[in-house]
């Protein structure tokens, strides 16, 4: 296919440029809105891919970035440390589940999960009892690097890269009434004595279709892992920072993972940064006079001081503003508005965890590549709403500053879309 001469040289993520029109430029962001070149105010109903928590350009975070820019740019983190990184590490350890003692910085959700996998394998290798099996849940998504693609669901996302991917054991998703099947499958895996870690998205499988499961399943998975000496890696890249109603989703299950991965909302969404937290036992397995036991991982921009300063400011927002109250209000707003769809035959699997709401539109062809996805996205954009359905799965994950009016407009548009695109519409 010949590309238009006027096409931008920029290659956008998850975009089929042969089918998409030219991207509109955003000129400004503020609160829950994006302001584009046409003068439209677009409600960011998915927090710009789940990263914006308090709202775009929160004043405290922006001020921290400006101040840090007067003192820092990148500092080699293998040779020095700096106050923003030290302060952030102490702040993180104060808000994550108990038992996590060390913080390793990286740049994105994919890389912090990759770090977690390497920590787990390194722990067993350095302990003199190597284990190499990784267990995941079907339909999961953990990122787009080779390791995280290997751990995620196989399909159209990674078919071209199959020769590079390693094998993992997959548990069936805990469907309602079939939760024991998941637990039994995990115990069967663990009996081999070869499972290094269970890598799991707590409570909500995000890109896999906003699939939700009860906290009791997560509690039991952790119990089984402990019974057999396997580690639990909690991928809280999406579920952390209040999305499920608590600071981290693991709190619902009253568990502390051996390794916790966080990114997205870590800086309030302002700058890219990630952290992988682990127990003292995992850190100590790499602590030795033998340099071959070093944890061999880094990136050039590890612990960028400006990003760390933004994350410190984010912690201050959580400490000094009524964020928990805003989250509770948003949960209630979703709950009230979802009721109208529960008995609507145009939808099924209406669900909510914390500030994440999702429902499946009844269409002829479902799944991520369903034609319903692009059609719905275009419809929502015509309403000045940024909503990116996962195929026929419509979800909302707004910044916490969203208003009743804003959210009501999004739900009204969802109902209007059903009248156009659902089975039997028109």
Write down the pLDDT at residue 228: 98
In 3D space, the residue among 232, 222, 137 whose CA is nearest the CA of residue 178 turns out to be 137
Cα 381 to its chain centre, rounded Å, is 23
Helix (H) or strand (E) holding 420, with range, is helix 404-421
Mean pLDDT value across residues 29-47:
98
**Is residue 212 pLDDT above 90, yes or no?**
yes
The token pair at 389 is: 């359905």
Q: E strand or H helix at 136, and its extent?
A: strand 133-137
> Whole-number mean pLDDT of the chain?
96
Taking each continuous run of H as one helix and of E as one strand, the counts in the chain are: 12, 16
pLDDT digits (tens, 9 = 90+) for 41-61: 999 999 999 999 999 999 999
The closest alpha carbon to 211, from 178, 175, 257, 180, belongs to 175
**CA pair distance 243, 426, nearest whole angstrom:** 36
* pLDDT grade for 200, boundaries at 50, 70 and 90: very high
Residue 359: is its pLDDT beyond 80? Answer: yes
Half-sphere exposure of residue 98: CA atoms within 13 angstroms, side-chain side: 1
pLDDT of res. 6: 72
Q: Does domain 26-54+323-421 have CATH number 3.90.1150.10?
A: yes
Give CA–CA dist 26/37, Å, rounded: 6
Question: Do 26-54+323-421 and 60-320 have matching folds?
Answer: no
pLDDT of residue 1 exceeding 80: no
**Mean pLDDT along residues 84-93:** 98
Residue 172 confidence (pLDDT): 98
pLDDT tens for each residue of 288-324: 999 999 999 999 999 999 999 999 999 999 999 999 9
Model confidence pLDDT, tens digit, residues 317-353 = 999 999 999 999 999 999 999 999 999 999 999 999 9
Is residue 304 within 8 A of residue 126, CB to CB? The reply is: no
Write down the pLDDT at residue 49: 97
**What class does CATH assign to 60-320?**
alpha beta
**Three-state DSSP class for residue 290:** coil
Distances (CA, A) of 63 to 309, 312, 315: 10, 11, 14
Q: Give me the pLDDT at residue 260, please.
A: 99
Tens digits of residue pLDDT in 97-137 = 999 999 999 999 999 999 999 999 999 999 999 999 999 99
| pLDDT: which is higher, 381 or 370 | 381
Q: Would the pLDDT of 366 be above 90?
A: no
The predicted-structure confidence for 131-171, as pLDDT tens digits, reads as follows 999 999 999 999 999 999 999 999 988 999 999 999 999 99
Is the confidence at residue 229, as pLDDT, over 80? yes
Over range 246-264, report the average pLDDT. Answer: 98
Burial of 179 (0-12, 13-18, 19+ CB in 10 A): middle
Asked if residue 405 has pLDDT above 90, the reply is yes
pLDDT at 425 over 90: no
How would residue 178 be classed by pLDDT, with cut points 50, 70 and 90? Answer: very high
Q: How many of the other CB atoms lie within 10 Å of CB of 8?
A: 10
User: Quick check: 198 pLDDT over 90?
Assistant: yes
The span from the CA of 277 to the CA of 101, in Å, is: 7
Residues 192-197 have a mean pLDDT of 98
| Cα-based angle 396, 399, 401 (whole degrees, multiple of 5) | 125
pLDDT at residue 91 tops 90: yes
231 or 369, greater pLDDT: 231
**Where are the domains positioned within the chain?**
26-54+323-421, 60-320
pLDDT attached to residue 157: 86
Percent of the chain with pLDDT over 90: 94
Query: What confidence score (pLDDT) does residue 214 get?
Result: 98
């Amino acid at each position: 296919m010949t590309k238009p001469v006027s096409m931008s040289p920029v290659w956008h993520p998850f975009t089929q440029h042969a089918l998409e029109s030219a991207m509109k430029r955003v000129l400004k962001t503020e609160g829950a809105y994006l302001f584009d070149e046409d003068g439209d105010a677009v409600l960011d109903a998915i927090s710009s891919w789940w990263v914006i928590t308090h709202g775009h350009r929160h004043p405290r975070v922006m001020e921290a970035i400006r101040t840090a820019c007067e003192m820092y740019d990148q500092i080699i983190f293998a040779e020095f440390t700096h106050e923003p990184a030290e302060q952030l590490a102490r702040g993180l350890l104060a808000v994550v589940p108990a038992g996590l003692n060390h913080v390793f910085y990286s740049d994105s959700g994919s890389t912090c999960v990759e770090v977690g996998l390497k920590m787990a394998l390194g722990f067993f290798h350095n302990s003199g009892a190597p284990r190499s099996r990784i267990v995941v849940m079907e339909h999961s998504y953990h990122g787009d690097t080779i390791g995280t693609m290997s751990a995620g669901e196989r399909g159209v996302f990674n078919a071209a890269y199959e020769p590079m991917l390693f094998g993992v054991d997959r548990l069936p998703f805990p469907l309602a009434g079939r939760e024991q099947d998941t637990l039994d499958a995990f115990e069967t895996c663990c009996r081999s004595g070869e499972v290094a870690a269970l890598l799991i998205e707590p409570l909500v499988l995000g890109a896999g279709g906003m699939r939700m499961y009860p906290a009791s399943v997560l509690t039991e998975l952790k119990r089984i892992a402990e019974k057999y000496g396997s580690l639990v890696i909690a991928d809280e890249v999406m579920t952390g920072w209040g999305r499920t109603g608590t600071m981290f989703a693991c709190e619902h299950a009253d568990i502390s993972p051996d390794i916790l991965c966080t990114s997205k909302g870590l800086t309030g969404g302002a700058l890219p940064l990630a952290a992988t937290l682990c127990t003292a036992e995992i850190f100590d397995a790499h602590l030795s006079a033998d340099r071959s036991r070093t944890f061999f991982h880094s990136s050039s921009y590890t612990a960028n001081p400006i990003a760390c300063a933004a994350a410190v400011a984010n912690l201050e927002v959580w400490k000094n503003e009524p964020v928990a109250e805003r989250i509770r209000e948003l949960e209630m707003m979703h709950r009230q508005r979802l009721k109208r769809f529960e008995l609507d035959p145009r939808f099924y699997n209406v669900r909510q965890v914390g500030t994440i709401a999702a429902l499946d539109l009844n269409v002829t062809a479902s799944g991520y590549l369903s034609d319903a996805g692009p059609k719905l996205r275009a419809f929502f954009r015509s309403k000045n709403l940024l909503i990116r359905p996962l195929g026929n799965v419509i979800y909302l994950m707004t910044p916490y500053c969203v208003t009743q009016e804003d959210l009501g407009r999004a739900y009204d548009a969802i109902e209007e879309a059903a009248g156009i695109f659902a089975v039997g519409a028109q």
